[in-house]
A and B are shown apart, each in its own frame.
Chain A
């Protein structure tokens, strides 16, 4: 059947539409995967840094704007962390704007401090900024025990200021609604700050106080690392006792077992036996799979970090 003029136009238009759509998608794919252009494509920037101005521009919809800036902060941190850039210049300003727009956006304080405090590549290496963020949160939400917990945790892990950590846990423990571990942490921090049990209690509380899977997994890995650090410390003490008793170092862990210092072959949480080195140190078999451990590593090795997640 002979096609009418309208029919011909329709066919040509449909063909052009499909071809141009496919071509545009292919071109965009090429742009996304061209490394040389990544730097030229839109850079992160904060054009309006004043939260007061943003508040006015939002026409009262500050909650939504805060959510947008928080999402932006999360994506920015994830992108920089994944690229291993070490540059987190915009992180603190983004978090400051987020919390000034919505002072009750608790995840921004909790996770924001976790993004800011640790050294690169794990974080921005800005513990001072993290401290200011948490203190701002407490100033505007004085009845939130989690913020005091975050403050105490920060003083403990980043500043090693156990007195201030104890004070923060104590203030959190005195709130009408609090976590059952807070008074215990306050007491332990005051007297047993450097001990494994105290650190273990902190990570257990971290695990129990959140439903966020990534935070829980991180807490589990820290608990495993604590177990390794504690076991390596105890094993090295046992090796030293053996040396004092026998006048020589044991040649293997079997010597320690025969001497009655240990029972069975000591193994790490992943089931791999610990190695006894000729100089009496204890090392783990596979340090790459035991994140955050500080003991049992070869000399000069850094604590292994978990692999970076893929971008969203």
Chain B
């Protein structure tokens, strides 16, 4: 990796882990994983299901919140604190700055996901007294959640390259919601007629497809995840993130920072 991108990524990671909100969210996610054990006690025969569903949902949702919360401020904070000019006055190109920020944020989220996943597996161990073979698929679901974070980080950076933090958060979250309804959007596109078909289909394929990355329910039931799906989702997440980051770079290159 380009050493300048590496330095910016590492600095971004260091700044992110200093944010107390991060720890509060991680702690809350861990508490939810523990609370799943109690939920299983007041229901019938779904102890493991609840731990996996609630635990992974907490990892996913809190991770998205962290990605948006930190991602929207990555560029704007540097501009507000005037540190951006110092950075860019070094031999650091604008695109290296954006890409470095992206890697730093995703690195932060990977570490967060690891910490929250430990909580989920501890809760699983508690309810089952041992790990089972089907618990391995929880790792696949966690991997897909990390891919989801890649896309959300890239989107947050894209919007923050030209918009205010508040609007960046709104746009990113809105795309997250729409992305989870991607299946319905494609069904809607198929139901339209004439020129609207192209428009609807285009929009349906342009929004990020988060529903394909959500396999929480399947792994909760112990169903295996096909290797082909893992491959396709990996390629899709990398391509979509590259698309969003490229857009961020294009906009940031032309942005008047004065």
Contacts and interface: CB of A to CB of B under 8 A. Distances in A.
Interface of A: 56, 59-64, 66-67, 70-71, 74-75, 102, 104-107, 110-111, 212, 312
A102 B60 CA distance: 19
Given A63-B57, A71-B39, A107-B46, 6 more contacts: A61-B57, A64-B53, A71-B42, A74-B44, A75-B42, A102-B217
Contacts of A67: 39, 43, 46, 49-50, 53-54
Contacts of B210: 60
* Interface SS of B by simple majority: helix
Contacts of A63: 49, 52-53, 57, 216-217, 220
Lowest 10 CB-CB distances: which A-B pairs, in order?
Answer: A63-B217, A107-B45, A71-B43, A64-B53, A60-B214, A59-B180, A63-B53, A60-B180, A312-B42, A64-B57
Contacts of B46: 67, 70-71, 105, 107
A56 B53 contact: no
A75 B39 CA distance: 11
B69 to A, nearest CB: 18
26 contacts: A56-B184, A61-B53, A61-B57, A61-B60, A61-B214, A61-B216, A62-B217, A63-B217, A63-B220, A64-B54, A64-B216, A66-B217, A67-B39, A67-B46, A70-B43, A71-B43, A71-B50, A75-B42, A102-B217, A104-B221, A105-B46, A105-B49, A106-B45, A107-B44, A111-B45, A312-B41
B177 interface: yes
The range of chain B's interface size is 20 to 34
Nearest to B58: A64
Contacts of A107: 44-46
Contacts of B214: 60-61
A104 B220 CA distance: 10
B235 to A, nearest CB: 20
A111 B44 CA distance: 8
A289 B49 CA distance: 37
A213 to B, nearest CB: 11
B211 interface: yes
B53 A212 contact: no
A111 B45 CA distance: 9
Contacts of B54: 64, 67
A4 to B, nearest CB: 30
A118 B65 CA distance: 46
A140 to B, nearest CB: 12
A56 to B, nearest CB: 6
Contacts of B44: 70, 74, 107, 111, 212
A120 B221 CA distance: 33
A109 to B, nearest CB: 11
Contacts of A212: 44-45
Given A56-B181, A63-B216, A74 B42 contact: yes
Interface string B36-78: 0001011111100110111001001100000000000000000
Contacts of A59: 176-177, 180-181
B193 to A, nearest CB: 23
Contacts of B42: 71, 74-75, 312
B179 to A, nearest CB: 9
Contacts of A74: 42-44
A249 B223 CA distance: 65
Nearest to A311: B42
A105 B45 CA distance: 10
Nearest to A56: B181
Nearest to A101: B217
A71 B49 CA distance: 12
Q: Residue among A61, A107, A212 with the most chain B CB within 10 A?
A: A61
Contacts of A64: 50, 53-54, 57, 216
Contacts of A60: 180, 210-211, 214
Contacts of A105: 46, 49
A58 to B, nearest CB: 9
A75 B211 CA distance: 31
Interface string B155-182: 0000000000000000000001100110
Contacts of A102: 217
Q: Residue among A66, A67, A106, A312 with the most chain B CB within 10 A?
A: A67
Q: Residue among A59, A62, A66, A74 with the most chain B CB within 10 A?
A: A59
A55 to B, nearest CB: 9
Contacts of B57: 61, 63-64
Nearest to A111: B44
Interface in B187-240: 210-211, 214, 216-217, 220-221, 223
Nearest to B219: A63
Contacts of B49: 63, 67, 105
Nearest to A106: B45
B116 to A, nearest CB: 15
A74 to B, nearest CB: 5
